[in-house]
Amino acid sequence: MIQHSRVQRDPMAIVSFAIVLCVALGFLVGGTALADPHDSLNMTRLGQWAGGPSQAIQIDHNLAVHAVGGYLVTYDVGDPAEPRELARVTMPDRINDMAVDGLHAYVSCFLSGLVVVDLSDPTSPAIVARYNTAGHALTVELQGELAFVGHGGGFSILDVSDPENPTAESTVWCGDVFCIAMAGRYAYVCSSGLRIYDVASPSNPVELSLTSLEGWTIAVAVEGRYAYVGSWDRGLYVIDVADPATPAQIGHYDTPTHTHAVEVRGTYAYLADGTGGFRLVDIADPTNPVPLSQYDSPGYGSRIDLNGPWACLSDGSSGVEILRSEELVPGSWVSSVIGRLPAWGGSRRAYLDGFRLYVATDATGIQILDMSDPAMPIEAGQFSDATGAKDAVVQGSFLYVAEGSDGLRTADISDPASPHQTGLWNTAGSARDVVLYGDLLVIADHDRVTVLDKAGQEWDPQFLGELTLSGECDGVAMYGDIAVLSAGAEGVHVVSLAQPDSPVLLATLPLSSQSYEVIVDGDIAYVGTELGLAIVSLAVPSSPQIVSHTDFDGSAHGLAKVGTTVYLASFFSGTRMIDVSDPSTPVETGYYATPAYSFGVVASGGTVYVCNDDLGVHVLHDDLYTSSAIGDEVPAPSRAGVLIEQVHPNPFNSELTIRLAIHRRQFVSVDVYDLQGRHIRQVAAERLDPGYKSIPWDSTNEDGGRVATGIYLVKVVGDFGESVRRVTLLK
């Protein structure tokens, strides 16, 4: 590997307190709300890769249940140094908390309420029930056959004696509830301080007291006569609750970072302390909590589970740290770490190259996904060196990653399962975006545009030129030899690269709101802004003109275009589908409300890949897409040479259309099987030219009889490989 250093600069990111709080806690309370999850118009969900940060962990004997991103994952941790993944189930929404009773996991999913997962077979967990809470679900605690679910506005008590049919006992309105601890007949509730309820009668809870505390109280544990309350910005409070009607604060320890979770064992309090990791506090004298030691974990500590000899820390994008708890008092925290469960950073932007999707995550590098079947993404590899990845492009066997203050990092991906770094150029700014232009790599470099040359040395591009610009350049696209950059509050910069070693600013076009992303098609630039979509004419590059600027419900952090449709990743409101056949009057024609913050988007044919922060990548289908939208375009190369590009509608009642994307001339057979592998019918067998081909199936077998309702597999086999898609036939 060759590393080059020029002027290095690491500008500090200035992020508002409110956004930091939302990201840290994993939810929004008040302010701008996310869209209702999975609400849609003319867009269909095909699949999801749900990788994201660790949200919660519970271990019961040798079984670990890990809430990570949008997955609930089961592990065999009989040997915690070598955890073995058993299975994953994709949850409908962001996971905020969970409680496990052995056979079931009760999961608070922000916009989707309480979700119950059957764990009786850990190798095949399954969602068996959902209960829509009165507000956004934030936390859950179990006691016997009752589930106490904290949500926006209050908490609900549910009877879960039949886990497949939760029923409401009561709802208490007391303000947003972030944590609940149970001790006997009392519920200890974090909501604007510490509230104590008598729940001896679950249908009629009675509030006994409210202890006002400074800061945002979001965690509580009860041991004996004391409640230990974690405040996000004020640390640990000790409350004497011997008389629940008259509790009294008797002790306090103000941690230097942000407390998220509290667990108590004996005379020790274990704190998940955000960037402070894992903190141990001596509470032998409750009036004087004393910090003993700290494990500065690599991620962001948010949840704790104490089980036998193990202390587990949910550590954000670093996964779960499994530690020997008996060695923590005091001792070498580092040596006490004996195992880890993996996690990922939030998905920000992506690049599609054939059937592979390269996803830039905010802490775990580039995740390489095999999208041969968009409904079932497969993890094909990871370039973990690029921990600050903002965006990436691929050409041939090389991956080029814009990596913030680290500049541009290059990796050999000839073996995607084992990428390795080949070069690093520390740009003078902070690399936010990168595009290819011939042998040039053009970088949106925060306060400048930077040009690198890879001619003859694709493994290690060299500096060619740069131009300092005003504003914050987050996106870049090419129009011939002209670079168009989104520049935050400055609008759009137009820069000539006719002489790439000496870029020249041609024009700056102010916009009415902050710009985040830009793509170019023909002489039109499409700019994602704080308000929505700005369309700019580049017919005269030195004098760009605004054609239209339309509000499409939320700031646009990502854009992609196929034919006359622009797909807009709206931070709060999911993915919007915009018809730009008339650039002066763009019209929204569809949307899909993905249940997390939307950042980047890429599209191919009618398939749309949306980067959804902590919930990974959602794969959507544009239901209005037809091949005429792109004329006679030949599909992007694929490993098989033929892919099932779409099955529609799915589920279906009688007629199914199987749409193939054929990259090269070959003999193709299309067959239908049931889930037991029995052959149902061959619906096509012919030699096909490159392009798109739609093949119908009328839900009949080889004898012409209608098949039973259920799930079937459509298998396409070509000369160079195969593709499979699952379909569902309804009555």
Q: What is the DSSP string of 175-205?
A: S---EEEEETTEEEEESSSEEEEE-SSTTS-
CB 599 within 8 A of CB 347: yes
Proportion of the chain above pLDDT 90, given as a percent: 71
One-letter identity of residue 654: S
Per-residue DSSP letter, 325: G
Distance CA 486, CA 433 (A): 10
CB 128 within 8 A of CB 118: yes
Distance CA 432, CA 218 (A): 34
Task: Write down the CATH number for the domain with range 178-325.
Answer: 2.130.10.10
Q: Considering only CA atoms, which of 179, 183, 186, 182 is closest in space to residue 230?
A: 179
Mean pLDDT, rounded, for 180-191: 98
Token match 């601890």: residue? 181
Environment class of 578 (CB within 10 Å of its CB; exposed 0-12, middle 13-18, buried 19+): buried
pLDDT at 611 over 70: yes
Distance CA 49, CA 608 (A): 13
For residue 329, the model assigns a pLDDT of 58
CB 623 within 8 A of CB 45: no
Distance CA 425, CA 558 (A): 26
Parallel/antiparallel/unpaired status of strands 2-5 and 420-426:
parallel
Mean pLDDT, rounded, for 398-408: 96
CB 578 within 8 A of CB 603: no
One-letter identity of residue 662: I
Mean pLDDT, rounded, for 35-47: 80
Q: What is the mean pLDDT of the chain?
A: 89
CB 303 within 8 A of CB 55: yes
For residue 375, the model assigns a pLDDT of 81
For residue 630, the model assigns a pLDDT of 38
Distance CA 302, CA 393 (A): 33
For residue 258, the model assigns a pLDDT of 93
For residue 354, the model assigns a pLDDT of 81
pLDDT at 21 over 50: no
With residue 22 as reference, give the H or E element that holds it: helix 17-25
Over residues 291-315, the pLDDT tens digits come to 988 888 899 999 999 987 888 999 9
For residue 641, the model assigns a pLDDT of 57
Over residues 267-278, the pLDDT tens digits come to 999 999 999 888
For residue 625, the model assigns a pLDDT of 85
Stretch among 317-331, 383-397, 462-476, 490-504 having the lowest mean pLDDT? 317-331
CA angle (262, 265, 268) in 5-degree steps: 75
For residue 19, the model assigns a pLDDT of 36
**CATH number assigned to the domain with residue range 54-160, chosen from the 4 options 3.40.50.740, 1.10.8.350, 2.40.128.630, 2.60.40.150:** 2.40.128.630
Mean pLDDT, rounded, for 16-22: 37
Contacts of 14 (CB under 8 A, 6+ apart): none
Distance CA 267, CA 570 (A): 48
CA angle (297, 299, 302) in 5-degree steps: 90
Sign of CA dihedral 649, 654, 655, 661: positive
Per-residue DSSP letter, 21: H
**CATH number assigned to the domain with residue range 642-729, chosen from the 4 options 2.130.10.10, 2.40.160.40, 2.60.40.4070, 3.90.1580.10:** 2.60.40.4070
For residue 313, the model assigns a pLDDT of 94
CB atoms < 10 A from the CB of 212, how many? 9
Mean pLDDT, rounded, for 365-375: 90
pLDDT at 605 over 90: no
Stretch among 318-327, 587-596, 714-723 having the lowest mean pLDDT? 714-723
pLDDT at 22 over 70: no
**CATH number assigned to the domain with residue range 1-33+347-510, chosen from the 4 options 3.30.465.10, 2.130.10.10, 3.40.80.10, 1.10.274.100:** 2.130.10.10
Q: Do domains 178-325 and 642-729 have the same CATH topology?
A: no
Strands of 101-145, DSSP E: 104-109, 113-118, 126-131, 137-143
For residue 27, the model assigns a pLDDT of 42
Distance CA 478, CA 107 (A): 46
Side-by-side strand order, sheet with 84-90: 54-60, 63-68, 71-76, 84-90
pLDDT range class, residue 730, cuts 50, 70, 90: confident
CA 713 to each of CA 21, 632, 678: distance values in angstroms, whole numbers, following the listed order: 45, 28, 10
pLDDT at 583 over 80: yes
For residue 719, the model assigns a pLDDT of 64
Over residues 443-475, the pLDDT tens digits come to 999 999 999 999 999 999 999 999 999 999 999
Token match 């947003």: residue? 176
Q: Considering only CA atoms, which of 515, 512, 438, 426 is closest in space to residue 469?
A: 515
Distance CA 406, CA 425 (A): 8
Distance CA 247, CA 242 (A): 7
pLDDT range class, residue 613, cuts 50, 70, 90: very high
Distance CA 47, CA 49 (A): 7
Over residues 494-532, the pLDDT tens digits come to 999 999 999 999 999 999 999 999 999 999 999 999 999
For residue 720, the model assigns a pLDDT of 57
Stretch among 50-59, 180-189, 546-555 having the lowest mean pLDDT? 546-555
Side-by-side strand order, sheet with 146-151: 137-143, 146-151, 154-159, 167-173
Which SS3 state, helix, strand or coil, does residue 334 take? helix
pLDDT at 721 over 80: no
Token match 């670079």: residue? 483
Distance CA 702, CA 695 (A): 16
The domain limits of the chain are 1-33+347-510, 54-160, 178-325, 642-729
Q: Considering only CA atoms, which of 659, 662, 731 is closest in space to residue 697?
A: 659
